[in-house]
Amino acid sequence: MRKIVLILLCFILIMPNSIAYANLYFLKNSEEDNIKNIIESFYNTQYDAYLQMEYKDITPYLDMTKIQNQNKVIALKNLTARRKYIYQKGYCYIEKRRFPLEFNYKAIDINGNQASVILEIKLDGQNAYPPFICGGENIFKLIKMEDGWKITEHDYEDLSFYEISKEKLIREFQPKELAEMIDQEFSPDLKKEYKNFSDVELKNNVGILSLPAVNHYYSTSRAVEYANKYVYNRNTKFYDATAGGGDCTNFASQVLWYGFGANDTMNDILNKVMMVPGSYEEGWYAGPGGGSKNWESVEAFWTYMTSFKSIDTPGPRVVVVDSVNSLDNGGIMQIDFSNDGRFEHTVILVDKTTLKFAQHTPNTYRYYQEYTGAKRYFNPYYFREIE
């Protein structure tokens, strides 16, 4: 009898704690599910807007006191309006397919009415996703308000190229202004086109005053092959410039290097085949330990590639073109996202039919219509090797 009484007493003492722990467990799981639902609905609503080319309200998922979240709304409005106008005018291919997303929640930490989430997004192969979807690690901060959880902050690799800023409000373009900008993008302007070399270089016999030289013509197929091979996973034979401000131009230089005929081998890299040796400021080269300014810097790369080169100067020859319609596969586009005269990004055309570009930082594909801001372009022509 005494044993039965003791068992009952233990049960009575343990039972409330067990119920409390169970309630906490289910409450935590319920809150985690609510947070997951907010984040995934936030992505799905944007993707719906992107495909339908009409803005859809994402404010229910956001703390709208934050400038970053106001920029998310403006960026989505600008993107959907831009896609719709380009589609209506028939300027270029517009993606209408939805590609799968795989959400992997690595951590959800809830502390009262605050939460932080580490979400890894896995993308599908060779497809180009909208700019608000960034593969890899996405870090969210949320706050619980009267009407539920709201996103207060979102860190991801593509942030500076889409929302632009967490501190400064971006512009929302009015329909007429946006239309004029897009029309200008697709309007030929032959005054912008020029070569950075003299046509005399193309002749077999250029005269006794010039040095012996060989022109290695750019292979667009090789360039696209290289870009597609290393768009997601970089070529580890070269250094990684991501931590130094971005790997986009380093990647673009590699594409040109291979397109000009270099072999993807450590031997060619170390011997600077299809590169231009020299100082950090003057050469165009790279390797496992770093690269020159002209190889890796957005502005320096453009200046070096497009500046005039005399007949006895080794290095790349290019043709600057007026619009994306004149760009060939393996061609280069640079973007000034803020329209402030400072170009921040370099990308490579890999599919002229759909105007799909490969890029690094983040390592992904993007369609032309998703790059907002001023743009400039050139087609690589040949690499002049002085013998």
Q: Is the dihedral of CA 252, 256, 259, 263 positive or negative?
A: negative
pLDDT of the residue at 50: 98
Q: Which string of DSSP letters, residue by residue, matches 188-249?
A: --GGG-EESS-GGGGSS---TTSPPEEEEE--HHHHHHHHHHHSSS--TTS---GGGT-SHH
pLDDT of the residue at 21: 46
> Does domain 29-183 fall into CATH 3.10.450?
yes
pTM of structure: 0.88
117-124: Cβ within 8 A, 24+ apart: 117/35, 117/39, 117/141, 117/142, 119/39, 123/99, 123/364, 124/99, 124/100
pLDDT of the residue at 200: 87
Angle between helices 67-89 and 2-52 (to 10 degrees): 40
β-strand 286-287 against 290-291: which pairing, if any? antiparallel
| Contact between residue 335 and residue 299 where contact means Cβ atoms under 8 Å apart | no
**DSSP secondary-structure letter at 282?**
T
pLDDT of the residue at 6: 54
pLDDT of the residue at 208: 52
Q: What are phi and psi of 33, to 5 degrees?
A: -65, -40
CA 288 vs CA 35, 242, 249: distances in Å: 42, 14, 15
| Domain parsing of the chain, residue ranges | 29-183, 188-386
Angle between helices 175-185 and 67-89 (to 10 degrees): 60
- Cβ neighbours for 224, distance < 8 A, ≥ 6 positions apart: 329, 330, 350, 351
Give the tens place of pLDDT for each residue, 17-61.
Answer: 545 444 444 455 899 999 999 999 999 999 999 999 999 999 999
pLDDT of the residue at 118: 98
Give the tens place of pLDDT for each residue, 262-277.
Answer: 999 999 999 999 999 9
CA 373 vs CA 72, 146, 337, 346, 350: distances in Å: 16, 38, 4, 13, 20
Given a cut of 70, the residues of the chain with pLDDT beneath it are: 1-28, 204-209
pLDDT of the residue at 12: 57
pLDDT of the residue at 130: 96
